[in-house]
A and B are shown apart, each in its own frame.
Chain A
Amino acid sequence: MRAYTKDIFRNISHSKKRFLAIALITLLGVMMFSGLQASCNDLEKSADAFFDAQHLHDIQIQSTLGLTDDDITALLQDKDVAAAAGIRSVSADIKSSDSKTETLLSDAAVTTLNDAGIDAPYLLKGSLPSAADEALLTEKTAKNNGLSIGDSFTVSATEDTDSSSSSPALLVTKFKVCGIVTDPTDVDNPFGQVSYRSSQSSSDKVFVKPNAVSGSIYTSVVIELKDAKSYNCYSDDYADYVNDVQTRIENKIRPSAEERRTEEVRADAQKTLDDEISASEDALKKQTEEAEKSLSAAGSQAVPKEQLQAQKAQLEQKLKAAQDKIDEEKAAQQKKIDKMEGASWYVMNRTALSGWSNIQSDADSIASIGVVFPVVFFAIAILISLTTVARMIDEDRGLLGTYKSLGFTNQEIQRKYLLYVGMAGLAGSIGGTILAFIAFPSFLFTVFRMMYLLPSYSLSVMPLRAVLGPVLFMGGILLTTVYSCNKELRQSAAALMRPKSPKPGSHVLLERIRPVWRRMSFLRKVTARNLFRYKSRMLMTVLGIGGCMALLIFGFALRDSDVISRYTNAAITSAKLQTSDGEISVSLVVFPDETDASEYVNFDKLEASNAGSIVSADSGTDSTASAGTSISSADSGTDSTASAGTRADTGNLETGDIYVTQNAATLLNFSAGDKVSCRLPDLSEADLPVTAVVRNYIGNYMYMNESTYKSYFGDPGYNAVLASFKDSVSTSAKKAFGTDLKNMSGISAVMVTSELMEQSADTFRLMNVVVAIIIVMSAALAFVVLFTLQTTNISERERELATIKVLGFYDREVHQYINRETWFLTILGVLIGLPLGWLFAQTISVILRLPSISLSVSIHPVSYLYSAVLTLLFALLVQLITNITLNRIDPATALKSVE
């Protein structure tokens, strides 16, 4: 091998630390560049594979009057519908097989499987039902009820429907568990937390064969689209595809289907009424006949005339009353039939499924963090490599001169350093890529497994990113090498072989302040002068540390932004809102005047109501509306107002303000400024002007304060308390508290908002992991920055340090000589990092856009402290290491003169 090449390799082995520093920085940078994105990509891909395998529906339709086979036929006519199946579902309570035990769990839904295999449950244990009395349970249902395979249980419907009606009714009431499954429509992991993002904790499902439930009406119809599987279900293409079909269904099939069904039901009701009335009238006729018979019978007997008259009159009265009653009844019933609400379809896609959309929003928010970080890492990586390479070339000055004098071209000399840096970068890139695509996702999978019930997660590569990351980082550090080399090589060989003259000293501004200067000890004066001597390094240290502080604060802020610890009274009633477009129920929430309602509810005002706009399937604001369906994942770009606004963006509830949530606005087709008619349970009514439409995903709410309510209705009776827990309360304690509350007399309902917080816990479990990763990375970065700068500092001033050693400085004093400067710069960096970190954290709300919570960015003061302490800890660690290096400087060798 040529001597030149040997020199390169020996260079590496003789300066391992430097080589490692460059490799490490590249590794961290490349890993952060792709790691988060890869994990999210894998999550979405794994989920997509699962949903494809289980034939998860692409569209689900529900109707206020139920769906029939005619509807299914109509739907199958659409060119993109591959399969459609009806599902019958009955709400029931589960009891154990011996009826002596109390209800084990209420609100289960006995749901039929379908022959088309849509929404097929994933079998974990056991087998699919073969008989009508065999049932599949989800793990949650099984655990909650203490049931396992082979156990029997009974169900009793919560509403009585007899099996002769067309609505779904239970044919079988005693079931045997034949298998435990995962429901693809609900992949949120219930253990540890309940997903908040569904409107109700999704009912426990019991899956049975179709012949266990009677009825010709379907509770819902699920549809599989032809090309859906060819897309990743989280991609925009999929959303567009489904949206197109949804629109077609809405425009072409829905109107006629609704009409048809409405007519059907009306005709049925009318027929029933007519039958009833004629039956009643027949009965009455019979009664009349009998009465007349008895009268004439009485007339044939010797009964006094007056008595007879009286009896006759009485009878006639009775008959008339009966007839009146029938007429009244007929009129009332007829009125009901005439006033009957028409069928209304709800066409929903997967965004209505909480599990599906949780995955999407989690992947999105994690991915968006993954956008910001690599940029910061990249900047710092360039900084570090610049410093390291510049230092290396500086040390080799004489060697560069020698090479030049021997007749090597600049290119050839540069090649040596490019190869050095290139190999370090390559090693780091390879390591980083492996970590990013294998270790990182695998690690996050453990978290995902806690959050979702997906059976398996697979690793995959994102080829573009895998190449781009290394290219960017290596390109960056190679460019800095070229830059540093060129800078030196521009000098003549002779100049290079002359030792570099040390940087000239100069007077510091501080000297002008004589009283201060005079009082400073000599060593402190030296420190002051030295600080300004190496201005560029000073700047780099301060910025490097400031940047790392900012990253740390960012990490902590992610974790902190979920504080609530207040409570207020409130009046919550259900009210009916009505416009010409229809009527829906809303929860009316009245706050006391003095409460800052925005501390409990995030009023994110939308510009205009979204009625009529057909939004991309990502947005939850279109036709998915009924209270009780979960809506989520509003990645909608449709609103220019702050999407996940900080609390500062939203207004407080002033007197006169009436806010209504967006679903109501869409359904009833009103917007801010319109009037809606509101009817309370006590039947008091008022026309309310809507001040603003606010964002909300779960159910429908109307908000106003006490004064507003008083002006329309009178005093609100406070019947509720909105409360929040302190941070230190654990989730299980919150749940226990909620249960205790529930059991107290006088309390009718408790909604523990740690089911709200569990969404917090849910998201934040993932977030906590991500935050931990970010903090560790930032810490590693801070460490590398400090270490590199410190070692560069020392090697550059080796002679100076050797000299003071010779002059008789103790080791400790030599340490102080250097460390004093470093501490000063570190503290300066920390101070700068504080506002920088605050600024950085404000971008969280923009970056994350978590749909189910508005993150109001708040940073605990303590987090600033943590970040500062961590940074200073690292400074201390680095200092300890460099102290060792300082001790090793041997004055004799360091001072060996070249000239």
Chain B
Amino acid sequence: MRIPNTRLGLLALALASLCLAPSAGASLGADAGSVEADRAALNGQLAVSHAGGYEVREITTPAGVHIREYLTAGGTVFALSWQGPVRPDLRQMLAGYYARYAQAAAAPHVGGHRHLAVKQPGLVVESNGRMRAFYGRAWDPSLLPAHFSVADLR
């Protein structure tokens, strides 16, 4: 399943609005080249690690949010995770996936203010935590590498 690449337009928007609202722009379904561009744009720190057929790149935003991007061997971002005192801007991180996430986010949910889960065949987003300690994950089930377990998203 290919995702329309609306990401470049959103990255330009992200850079333009950086002075007002710095946030991570690396996005689900996009390619590895976006990660370095985001790191430079955010003046963030980047750490890269390799594990079992996929790559993990981490950006830390000025607000202190740690964002991890999981890339396939072919260089596609198949999952994201985040952890920090505030929530990251998922509009840029989910890019072409954002519209369906936004539609589902306001649906009734059982977790009160602490847990939100969007579960669709092509998109899963989990948002947890509270002020000063937010955690979340997002992935496209159809992009997961073989033998990858979502339990490895940390």
A complexed with B: no
